[in-house]
Amino acid sequence: MYKMGIFAAALIAVITGMVTFSPGIPISKAADIDAKKLYMTHCKTCHGEDGKPTDLGIGLEARDFTDAAWQAKATDEQIIKQINDGTPEKMMPFKEKLTPDEVKALVPVVRSFGKK
């Protein structure tokens, strides 16, 4: 239950962040997290620099983050859960590697690939 609280808090923070932050201000500014860099360090090997899966990602059946239909369907909560928990044999969980704030900060990065 403690964890659900974190997810809920993270979700609310993300939603509030999207509403309150004006363009040009990095969303991660307050927590001093460079989310784009986190993505390039931890996610790009499979999900690609531009959100399109790499050969490795395709082999593991990773999603194309530029897919508008998926972007419309996926909730921020699902994205946060996926990053935290991963999928056995496919994607490693990141909850031990990243702080809840870092995981939260990655959501807008994943979202950004859908807006082009």
Q: Residues interacting with ligand HEC, by CB under 6 A? A: 42-43, 45-47, 57, 60-63, 74, 79, 82-83, 87, 90-91, 94, 106, 110
Q: Which residue's CB is nearer to ligand HEC, number 29 or number 84?
A: 84
If the CB atoms of residues 16 and 45 are measured against ligand HEC, the closer one turns out to be 45
Chain CA centroid to CA 86, Å: 12
Closer to ligand HEC at the Cβ: 16 or 41?
Answer: 41
Closest CA to 98 of 37, 47, 14, 27: 37
d(CA 53, CA 31): 28
> Closest approach of Cβ 43 to ligand HEC, in Å?
3
